[in-house]
Amino acid sequence: MTAAEPRICVHGLGYVGLPTAAVLANSGYEVVGFDVDPEHRQNLKSREFTFEEPDLERFVDRALDDGLTIAADPEPAEFHLICVPTPYDRNLDRTDLSFVQTAVETVAKILRSGDTVVLSSTVPPGTTDGLLRDVIEREGLSATEDILLGYSPETVLPGNTLAELRENDRLVGTAADQPPDRIVALYDSFISGDIRITNATTAEFVKLIQNACRDVNIAFANEVAKLAHEFEIDSRESIALANEHPRVDILHPGPGVGGHCIPIDPLFLKHGNDVPMLIEVARTVNDGMVGFVTELLEAALDRVAGSTVAILGLAYKGGVADTRESPAFTLVDTLETAEVGDIQLSDPYVMPDMVDREVLSLEESLEGADAAVIVTDHPEYGALDPAMFAERMVGRVIIDTRAMLDEERWDTAGFDVYKV
């Protein structure tokens, strides 16, 4: 890229915004990164990184040297990419769009004719062509004639964010059926995947139904697991045999669903409507798996109250340190309500300063435990040594919610292993 290439301002330097800004800067663009959190901005300027993501520190480091500036305020640019959080307000049962509202109000004040605004945050359908368009036009610019307004969702997986930002297919939708050429040219300059074109509302809807589909499919697997326990058969064997059919692909059951996307995004489809949805049932099933794991533990132990339980895995998925919406913490709360005596937590990726609870080493978490619950499918857990567990635990109960263990080996070592 040359100095003649467009300047880009990225609003929000979180899990998506920071990697996006870094990828663009490392592709040769002049990039201004803005975040409302002054401490976060200062940390980035000082090259102190709080994200646990492979290669991200090195990539951002290089970007700060080459073309990324961390700014105290948003600055004029030919492109404004909005990557701010959109939490779900469970009290109001609707999406909290306050961060998007603030970001677009700030952008609207510095927009110039010919600029392009792209929203990447996960939002309810109609947000780009509704909220964003209204705010921009209140400032005097037409969102159909003066600027290009679009939506392009991220579809990255924590632990592989940088690769997926550059390699995944990209969906681009524009407001009011505007030509998407400028947005397509920007993404085409740094991604190797295909770019698919639609309108903004469809693009918003597609992002939500992708994650809702995964949530519903996981819920079916979890229902299968619960039914298998009723019939006293192995759910994993049953699913594997069912999947031999060429048109059947049942997923793996587990202790629940974590991360920001799958447990949250499907709820955005409820925003502003009262249509009864299978999606809500799936959410109930998946959120209820922590209760099912607790029932397994209660059935395995003579006495849950006063027992010591080791929780292995705090991240929501294996191989990463991301604890957002992790079922591990819901399980801890549930066990505390059941008056479990001591809950000892460990995770090979989650460091003690990342969460509000004490995180021990694996060995420490097993000391004096009556039972251990494997919550996260970290690859390290597939090679756990039953002899080491036997040396430290006083009980011999393992709840393996991810089917990580060789059941025969652990049975030979004297352990009772219960799988989901």
Decide if 213 is catalytic. no
Q: What is the 3-state secondary structure (H, E, C) of 138-207?
A: HCCCCCCCCCEEEECCCCCCCCCHHHHHHHCCEEEEEHHHCCCHHHHHHHHCCCCCCEEEEEHHHHHHHH
The answer to whether the CB of 57 falls within 8 A of the CB of 44 is no
* DSSP-derived secondary structure for 103-138: HHHHHHHH--TT-EEEE-S---TTTIIIIIHHHHHH
- Largest Cα–Cα separation, the chain: 74
Task: Tell me which of 9, 83, 109, 207 is the catalytic residue.
Answer: 207
What gap in Å lies between CA 77 and CA 149, rounded to an integer? 14
Q: Identify which of 287, 286, 307 has the alpha carbon closest to the alpha carbon of residue 297.
A: 307
What contacts 251, CB < 8 A, 6 or more positions away?
A: 217, 218, 220, 221
Which of 109, 213, 226, 261 is labelled catalytic? 261
How far is residue 405's CA from residue 80's CA, in Å, rounded to a whole number? Answer: 48
Active-site residue 226, yes or no?
no
Tokens describing residue 246? 């060429």
Distances (CA, A) of 41 to 62, 64, 231: 17, 12, 55
With the C-alpha atoms ordered 298, 303, 304, 308, is the resulting torsion angle positive or negative?
negative
Residues labelled as active-site residues = 207, 261
